[in-house]
Amino acid sequence: MIAEAGHYALVLALALALIQSTVPMIGARLRDPALMTLARSTALAQLAFVGISFMALVALHVMSDFSVANVYENSHSLKPLIYKITGVWGNHEGSMLLWVSILALFGGLVAVFGNNLPLSLRANALGVQGWVSTAFYLFILLTSNPFLRLANPPLEGRDLNPVLQDPGLALHPPMLYLGYVGFSISFSFAIAALIEGRIDAAWARWVRPWTLMAWMFLTLGIAMGSYWAYYELGWGGWWFWDPVENASLMPWLAGTALLHSAVVMEKRNALKVWTVLLAILTFSLSLLGTFLVRSGVLTSVHAFATDPTRGVFILLILCVFIGGSLTLYAWRASSLKQGGLFAPISREGALVLNNLLLTTACATVFIGTLYPLGLEVLTGERISVGAPFFNLTFAPLFVPLLLALPFGPLLAWKRGDLAGAAQRLYAAGIAALVAVAVLWAWTRGGAALAPLAIGLAVFVIIGALTDIAERSMLFRMPLPIALRRARGLPRASWGTMFAHLGVGVALIGIVCETTWNSELISTLKPGDVAKVAGYELKLDAISQRQGPNYGEMLAHFTVSRDGRPIGAMTPSKRSFATRGMSTTEAALMSRGVSQLYVSLGDTAASGAIAVRIYHKPMVLLIWFGPLLMAFGGLLSLSDRRLRVGAPKPAKAARGLQPAE
């Protein structure tokens, strides 16, 4: 009953999406306000119905209704409640339903908060949103329906993949999807602007908060996924340049570029054509990411060819939306009016450089991810493009980006003074050189590049602080005045500082972890002591325990430093009977921002156990960085300018203005 209701609600949502994708756009053509306002009600109704559908699937999972194929394949009656709920999106069908639910959520948000938008812009944007929803509803209903029943319901389910039974996974996919799908808003607005043939600073002001929000969630989602991989996969890696990860990194890079070019558009009414293109590309890359992960093409090009329904369907969606929007762009972009002039050395120029480097870096990731697929399709030859490729291409493009980063905010709009900016960055430059020198002396004979990279990170961090210090006239005015000025600065300036600070912080974490990581792999018997980076880990005992749906072997370690005990660590190995799989649960101990990391291997016949122990210096900074970036995004988002929204056009002109 619940399954059928969920299915039916999904069909109704499709019907509403069809109305939303046609009627308001016809209304915008005919300038009929009644038809245009239909966009709002259909978007909200669609959200309600897809919400019912999603809730139905959650209910089925919670009640362990194994007569539904999706529940049978991914759930188990003994599974803890939280994983029964998160298991809803731990599989293909459920995660696609989550995808469209979030799409409908964003549509609903535009409908609710879009009252001060020009009526025709809102109608067109929600119409485009309706197209995307329609395509994905059809995809779910035709190829991956989560509500299908089994003819002979089994008594017990097959359980969720144990690696996915983890709190990290509860939040990672929804965050990532909020990011991916959030970019659909800027896409819809870009297409709407192309259809209307009109775009202005108010458009950018409207699009920027949505982009910012999507970008924040994507940043958090990627960071969370990386931390999950770090502690769950049991060997301490946090980024593997795996195609699945690259699929989320590409929209992030393009989205970061979009965020910056939208600033130029909002402030200076320039770079319009480019911003629209970026908005299209960013969402296209989100779609591509969905395609890569969801079509099975990464598992095997041949798997894709032998069971093509899903893959071909998403590929079709991909071609229609990317091809269609780029065609529309080629056709209509010339009708958008050119914006303000600026010199190459200016804030705009710096943001153009940022865009250029980010999109190029994104392109190299694109090539590294898709080249093996293309080569296999064309020649049948199989290669893997791993970390070395990305280190050789991605990193060199990021160095100039980070070098230029502190200059950007210090340059004036329109025509900047590079020498002046450089002068104000003296402190940052000196701090960076000192950091390089100190590290060089300290790690003499060690890696040569690491001190330079950390120097660069210090330059970025101090540079970000310099910008705020300059704006609040710290050191030039008496302290109370400077503080008052600092408080009065727009929150967006603080947001910029935190986001840029985060880049530097993450870079320090990345460099320290990869360069000074110490590792010990050894077999230990109870009573043995292992020494890593000044820490002593004594294996006290090995014990067994029964969890709700798994058996667990725990190893108890006492950690001491200089003979003083500082804590206990209990890594474990869980074996899940239903799937016959085991997972390694690493034990982590944070010391400041560094971590000790212990994971278990096989047990030998003699009772000794293989253990992998890492000391990872500064590793937590890798994830603090993105947190700071997202916090910066949040501050920016709360800026008054954005809260107030776009300036309203004159009342009389509202919705009735000719498009030209």
Position of tokens 């910056």? 260
Least spacing, CB of residue 657 vs another protein, in Å: 27
Q: Which stretch binds another protein (CB under 8 A): 29-37, 161-169, 249-257, 619-627?
A: 161-169
Least spacing, CB of residue 611 vs another protein, in Å: 8
Following DSSP, what letter does each residue of 546-557 receive, concatenated?
A: E-SS-EEEEEEE
Distance CA 310, CA 303 (A): 11
Does position 40 bind another protein by CB under 8 A?
no
Distance CA 280, CA 404 (A): 26
Please name every residue paired with 611 in a beta bridge, in sequence order, or none if there are none.
522, 600
Distance CA 516, CA 615 (A): 9
Identified binder of another protein from the candidate list 77, 80, 148, 302, rule CB under 8 A: 302
* Of 158 and 654, CB closest to another protein: 158
Distance CA 122, CA 28 (A): 9
Least spacing, CB of residue 660 vs another protein, in Å: 22
Report how far apart the first and last C-alpha atoms of the chain are (Å, whole number).
52
Identified binder of another protein from the candidate list 26, 363, 447, 482, rule CB under 8 A: 363
Closest C-alpha among 507, 510, 514, 506 to residue 625: 506
Least spacing, CB of residue 148 vs another protein, in Å: 16
Distance CA 622, CA 224 (A): 11
Residues 7-36 that bind another protein (CB under 8 A): none
Identified binder of another protein from the candidate list 3, 105, 125, 164, rule CB under 8 A: 164
Identified binder of another protein from the candidate list 85, 163, 447, 634, rule CB under 8 A: 163
> Residue 324, Cβ neighbours under 10 Å: how many?
13
Identified binder of another protein from the candidate list 7, 40, 79, 172, rule CB under 8 A: 172
Contact present, 266 and 339 (Cβ < 8 Å): no
Return the DSSP state at 233: S
Does position 146 bind another protein by CB under 8 A?
no
Does position 606 bind another protein by CB under 8 A?
no
Least spacing, CB of residue 246 vs another protein, in Å: 12
* Of 21 and 583, CB closest to another protein: 583
Least spacing, CB of residue 604 vs another protein, in Å: 7
Closest C-alpha among 257, 511, 264, 460 to residue 362: 257
Least spacing, CB of residue 619 vs another protein, in Å: 17
Residues 608-637 that bind another protein (CB under 8 A): 610, 612
* Of 306 and 652, CB closest to another protein: 306
* Of 256 and 295, CB closest to another protein: 295
Least spacing, CB of residue 71 vs another protein, in Å: 16
Does position 338 bind another protein by CB under 8 A?
yes
Residue 513 makes CB contacts below 8 A (sequence gap 6+) with 238, 616, 617, 618, 619, 622
Identified binder of another protein from the candidate list 326, 356, 474, 568, rule CB under 8 A: 356
Residues 573-602 that bind another protein (CB under 8 A): 573, 579-584, 601-602
Distance CA 134, CA 105 (A): 14
Residues 221-260 that bind another protein (CB under 8 A): 225, 228-229, 233-235, 240, 242, 244-245
Residue 521 makes CB contacts below 8 A (sequence gap 6+) with 601, 610, 611, 612, 613
Least spacing, CB of residue 244 vs another protein, in Å: 6
Least spacing, CB of residue 152 vs another protein, in Å: 20
Query: HEC states along 15-62?
Result: HHHHHHHHHHHHHHHHCCHHHHHHHHHHHHHHHHHHHHHHHHHHHHHH
Query: How many residues lie near another protein (CB under 8 A)?
Result: 75
Cα distances (angstroms) measured from residue 632 to each of 44, 214, 449, 482, 636: 30, 13, 29, 21, 6
Does position 307 bind another protein by CB under 8 A?
yes
Residues 366-425 that bind another protein (CB under 8 A): 367-368, 371, 381-386, 388-389, 392-393, 396-397
Does position 607 bind another protein by CB under 8 A?
no
Residues 517-536 that bind another protein (CB under 8 A): 521-523
* Of 331 and 371, CB closest to another protein: 371
Identified binder of another protein from the candidate list 298, 405, 497, 598, rule CB under 8 A: 298
Distance CA 468, CA 234 (A): 41
Identified binder of another protein from the candidate list 153, 344, 446, 548, rule CB under 8 A: 344
Cα distances (angstroms) measured from residue 548 to each of 258, 505, 575: 46, 40, 11
Does position 95 bind another protein by CB under 8 A?
yes
Phi then psi for residue 551, to 5 deg, are -105, 150
